[in-house]
Structure 1
Amino acid sequence: MNDYKLLPKLSQNLLEILNDEEYYDITIEVGNDPYVKIFRAHMVILCYRSPYLKRILSTNKKKNDGTLTHIKLSGISPENFHIILRYIYGGRLSLEEYDISDIVKILDAASKLSLQELINYIQSYLVEKKANLLEQNFNFIYQTSFENDSFLKLQEYCTDLISKEPVKIFKSLNFSSISGKLLTSILQSDNLQTSEIQVWEYVIKWGLAQNPELSSDPTKFSDKVLPYMEILPKELYMDLLKTFLSRSDLNSKPNNESKPHITKEINSRTVDSKIITYQHVELISKWIDRLEITDWSTPYEFKLLFRGSRDGFTSDDFHKFCDSQSCTVTVAKVKDTSEILGGYNPIAWRSDSGFGSYDTTKDSFIFSFKNNKIENYILSRVIDENHAIYNSDFCGPTFGNDDLNLFDRLFSLSDRRSISKKNSYDKSIRETEDKFYVEECEVFQIV
């Protein structure tokens, strides 16, 4: 018998002891006036589980007159102490229901009580399970981690993000509130992976937040560029000048705001694909972020997960490499045509058996390119969110109710037959609903 199978019952019994009103020998007053709560506990358990409480209780020896030991804890809310106390007794902690701010408060409480095991667990949970929330709230996490020497994993996470993916910090929810010192560290990174003009925009955004009395009108390019003429490299100065002059030309009318204007900087980059170029990567990345099309390079990297000609064209092959992977872009080359079809799935693929099942998201989309020209595209966003993504072991990547269904075993076991017809997305991405054959298929993860 595995000894670990006995632990759940032990945990449950210890939690029952915590809730027992008969055998406790200490009361703990937690919180600050006017919100204070009294907890009952057992000194022997507290001493062996928390080094901090052991030190406190060593100076509060149990009296022989039958009176209870009583201590006060400030700086921890009653709600968080209740969570900590359940961990101390039963070794149980569930963080799924809490937002990032609440989790950090629990982490801080664990630090105050010197619960190193819990500190390590919460940090690992945040980094491994809530990385997207850490990115969105980077400044808060950065300040919290470097204020406490116990939060080494969070410090390492922040340092790695600054050095390896600094553009994600620019896109965080509280970017404008970061310190000048942190902004300087980000700008000194050798891995910015974005154009100088876009970096300049972020710096201006940060500067305006620190000086709200300044005009934030983006057409006033002189406020952004001219004052810095003497300190900017000539080439960068001219690029900035041309960019903001073109934006401030009130008489100019864009031919089509939804079409891309790709720069030479982008052409110099590559993507590991037999189907798309880096120009496609730039455009698809803008669609993912719901941004207007600009001539700035993308912060995203397309990591190849699956290629049909290399890994196989069956639905089983697709699921072998792509199941449990989220934030993926699928692209497929239609045989005997110049068509490229594809879609973006922000959630993880699965190979559900039987009739399969649908997943819900409002952020997925499908698209097509024709005639080997990037400007000849159709972008179709999901309108039936409850049928956005279809997961089945019979199908390859499937968006909507056959809006884009690649190499479905219901059509054929081996001939790569696929279909695209409008149902769950707002536009048809092909001129015909006839079945077609896939010449090549690739799936990338957005990182």
Structure 2
Amino acid sequence: MSLKFFDKLSQNLIELLNDKDDYNVIIEVENKEKSFTAHSNVLKFRSSYFRKELENIQPNENNIKIIIKSSISAQIFNVVLRYIYGGIVDLENCETRFIYDLMLAADEFELEELTNKLETLLIETKGSWLRTHFSFIYHFIFKRNDFKKLKIFCNDIVVKYPKLIFDADDFTSLEESALVSLLKRNDLQIEEVKIWDYVIKWGITQASIPSINLKDWTKENFFKLKTTLQQCLPHIRYFHLTSIEVVDKIEPYRKILDKQLWKDINQHLLIPERPVKSIILPPRLVLITELPPRAEQSFSTIISEEHAAEISTWIDRRETAYTLTNIPYKFELILRGTQDGFAPQTFWNMCHGHVGTVVLVKVKGTDEIIGGYNPLTWDKNTDGEWMETKDSFIFSLKNGNIENSILSRVTKPEYAILNRSKNNQIKNGPVFGDFWMYSRKSDFTLDDSFYCLSFGCYYEKSIRSSPSSELPSIINYEVFKIVKKNL
């Protein structure tokens, strides 16, 4: 039988870390502005990274070895060091970005146990944050050899929603390992001929071929493209392309294919039952082009068609209300909290660039539905900028025990709408003068999530009967783009 006393051992080692006697290592971080003392034997046996570093560093005149890690923050390294000594990581009240940065630091210091634990924690509990910062995370993790679970998590999203990566502005800068990992997937939901187009586009950029006009290409251009795509080309499902697709898309680039493969592709088109020498990969899973019949679903989980007619009436400033049969606008969903997450940053990422939008909020514990209309453009790239308009309004809608809707039009147009600065988007959502959404915990459902003035300051009147000191959270919120119907 073994008696284990890990808690006491951890406590003693933390005390050793805090003891400023007998240290023989100094680690300088934050551009050498902060430093930590440590003991070489502890570092070497806990981290292979520190073992290698310490073996290559000569001690100074005081027999102290100095390690410089300028890019690591003091806050992050303090957590890393306490983990190395005591095996304890306190993440209470830590923001998700801190946990993510801590995972990257743990990986850099080759702390496999901590890296794996944080990676699992992010996937299992911070999925909404990962989706909000998807492009940034996706491009970064494939630059590293680790994070296998995160790579699978991200690729599971990409194969279902490939436009996130393939139609992004930075697609051609994607790491080769990321592209190959997607091409290997049988469930990548893109038509094979389009996959070929994306691969060629990526390859041309990566190979720095100046012209996309094949008439201008030299043998060297084709050779560079073939070399660049040598890891990608084996994963194209050539034998599942139509004859037209082969002629129009593949044939112009036949010089980058092996001669046997090109011969087999042509033979397969003419005599599909005859065996070929090349490997025939299985077709990708059939794309679902039509949804099965089902009961008609409402366009919104918060408002009804009647509400949409009322909001449309307000937008057009009509005295006669629109009916269900003559609503002139389509409400196109941009964001739904229960679907896309409740992080404020999600609003700015998904609504950026959209013009003419309605924000709808379902208040927790009440029948209230409140919101605002912005005829202008949401812009996440400003330093915090008020936008002037005479056409915005805020409102509460008739619902449940709420007997009448309230419309409140802007009275100070210069303070109608606020685009939050980048630094404030982590906790702050949209702002309509007297009504704005925010969250101290960066999740609208976890704490006070919106604020409405109890008196009209920038708009005509309050849209809530409760005093402004009552700051409730929300059940859900949606953002719709208001688009004129083709009547």
State the TM bucket, normalised to the shorter chain.
0.3 to 0.5
Q: TM-score, normalised by structure 1?
A: 0.43
Q: TM-score, normalised by structure 2?
A: 0.40
